[in-house]
Amino acid sequence: MSSSNYRRNKAAVDQFRKELMAMVEDIGEIDVRVLNQAVNEGVRYAKNKSPVITGHFRKNWRSDPAVRSKAGETTKVLVNNADYAIYVNYGHRTVDKAGNTTGYVKSKTGDHLLERTENYVNKRMIEIFKKEVEAVQNRHN
């Protein structure tokens, strides 16, 4: 009698481990999907919020695919390669011919756009991650 209980319990535990390992594999892929989606949405956000004079600054927002390091960390880079992007993001001073500061130029839409985009991406990552985890839980229940 006890050996049949043991076999049933062992089978149930083995089945649970199998399902748990399948869930772990699914969760392992979530970080890449979430990061890719959130940063891609961040690129769109940055492009929409970028000040436009010639369009060069707006066109230069880029993102590479997510990369997983050997340590298991997943990273993705959001950049703007326009040579004057730092001035749009932080503003810049204006000078006269003698080198004296005459004022400070700030863009209403461009001020700290990289930081605002980073905040947007972080919020989106939380929302997307919750949805992805719920989807995995639903798939394995």
Q: Model confidence over 33-76: pLDDT tens digits?
A: 889 999 999 999 999 988 877 889 899 999 988 888 888 788 88
Q: Where are the beta strands (DSSP E) in the chain?
A: 61-63, 67-68, 74-75, 78-80, 92-95, 101-105
Cβ-Cβ contacts under 8 Å for 94 (sequence gap 6 or more): 101, 102, 103, 104, 105
Q: Model confidence over 69-109: pLDDT tens digits?
A: 888 788 889 999 988 888 888 877 677 888 777 766 776 66
pLDDT band at 110 (very low <50, low <70, confident <90, very high): low
